[in-house]
């Protein structure tokens, strides 16, 4: 594990942690994060809004859709109100499997495994680009009951999967493994609401940062939901998905689409 932890190269999970005000990041992560913030000052808002979308989606699925099982791929570093915190706060019997491939996330996985006595949590060290490895991991079947609905979370993840890696097929593969009546929670970065000058500046910064950042259009994001029933209000800015009352950021500040969809009976 230590061989994989290269603190000289920025990592999306640690950069995201920095924008959210966390401390689990290194100088390379902070430098990359600040370079992006210099050309897009709303990036911290975008990170917070994406996180809030995830929490609202989990709250809705637990409280209103009676979902008790969650598969969170691309978990990121532990922060306040992780998936199990939200779900088990409503339904203590909820069961959650986290998946990530960042060695620092693995180090902190113990913070993600503090389940309520009634429920369960597990952690899988794997990459979303290898869905077969995730689906074959014993921890998945040991923790989740595949005869009951499961909510699959792919939150702020797929914009780090390039077109040639076929992120749409990855999502299709994962969703096909879910029981009928399951759900997909997905958010994805977009440049759709940005002006050309900001887009050019963002592209100039991002070309020097790995992994490659691939924001996508509404049409491209919509493809992830083919064959699924997208719940209201549809595929919208993450800030506009079932928001709390009061003012909220504009789509140009949030720069991300989010949606929740239900699988159909087979």
**Mean pLDDT along residues 109-118:** 84
How many CB atoms lie under 10 A from the CB of residue 38? 11
CA proximity to 174, closest of 126, 106, 112: 126
Asked whether the predicted pLDDT for residue 88 surpasses 70, the reply is yes
Q: What is the pLDDT of residue 4?
A: 61
Q: What is the DSSP secondary structure assignment for residue 224, as one 8-state letter?
A: G
Residue written as token pair 């230590």: 2
Q: Is the pLDDT of residue 83 over 90?
A: yes
| Beta-carbon contacts of residue 166 (< 8 Å; ≥ 6 apart) | none
The pLDDT mean for the chain works out to: 92
- Mean pLDDT for the stretch of residues 73-102: 91
Condensed to tens digits (0 to 9), the pLDDT of residues 150-170 reads 999 999 999 999 999 999 999
The helix or strand, by DSSP H or E, that contains position 206, with its residue range, turns out to be: helix 196-206
Place of tokens 């992006």: 36
Residue 5: predicted pLDDT: 66
Quote the pLDDT of residue 78: 76
**3, pLDDT greater than 50:** no
Q: 3-state class of 98 per DSSP? A: strand
Q: For residues 232 and 261, what is the distance between their CA atoms, to the nearest angstrom?
A: 9
For the chain, what percentages of helix, strand and coil (3-state, to nearest 5) are there?
40, 15, 40
How many of the other CB atoms lie within 10 Å of CB of 140? 19
* Predicted confidence (pLDDT) per residue in 224-262, tens digit: 999 999 999 999 999 999 998 999 999 999 999 999 999
**Which residue, among 92, 72, 91, has the nearest Cα to 82 in the 3D structure?**
72
Interval 164-218: pLDDT, tens: 999 999 999 999 999 999 999 999 999 999 999 999 999 999 888 888 899 999 9
Q: Give the predicted TM-score (pTM) of the model.
A: 0.93
8 A C-beta contact, residue 156 and residue 49: no
| Token reading at 246 | 């009061």
Structure tokens at 77: 């570093």
Quickly state the pLDDT bin for 80 (edges 50, 70, 90): confident
Give SS3 for 253.
helix
Confidence of residue 1 (pLDDT cuts 50, 70, 90): very low
pLDDT band at 2 (very low <50, low <70, confident <90, very high): very low
Residue 258 pairs in a beta bridge with 187, 236
Neighbours of 130 (CB within 10 A): 12
């Amino acid at each position: 594990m230590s061989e994989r932890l290269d603190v000289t190269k920025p990592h999306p999970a640690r950069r995201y942690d920095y924008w959210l005000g966390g401390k689990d990041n290194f100088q390379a992560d902070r430098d990359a994060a600040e370079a992006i913030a210099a050309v897009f000052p709303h990036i911290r808002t975008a990170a917070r809004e994406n996180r809030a979308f995830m929490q609202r989606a989990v709250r809705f699925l637990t409280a209103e859709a009676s979902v008790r099982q969650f598969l969170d791929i691309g978990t990121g570093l532990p922060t306040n109100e992780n998936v199990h915190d939200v779900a088990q706060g409503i339904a203590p019997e909820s069961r959650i499997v986290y998946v990530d491939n960042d060695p620092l996330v693995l180090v902190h996985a113990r913070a993600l495994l503090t389940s309520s006595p009634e429920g369960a949590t597990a952690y899988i060290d794997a990459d979303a680009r290898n869905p077969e490895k995730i689906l074959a991991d014993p921890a998945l079947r040991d923790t989740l009951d595949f005869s009951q609905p499961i909510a699959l979370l792919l939150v702020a993840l797929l914009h780090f999967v390039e077109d040639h890696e076929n992120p749409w097929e990855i999502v299709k593969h994962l969703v096909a493994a879910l029981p009928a009546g399951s759900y997909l929670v997905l958010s994805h970065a977009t440049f759709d609401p940005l002006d050309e000058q900001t887009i050019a500046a963002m592209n100039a910064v991002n070309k020097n940062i790995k992994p490659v950042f691939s924001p996508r259009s509404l049409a491209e994001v919509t493809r992830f939901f083919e064959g699924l029933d997208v719940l209201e209000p549809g595929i919208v800015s993450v800030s506009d998905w079932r928001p709390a009352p009061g003012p909220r950021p504009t789509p140009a500040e949030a720069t991300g689409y989010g949606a929740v969809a239900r699988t159909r009976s087979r």
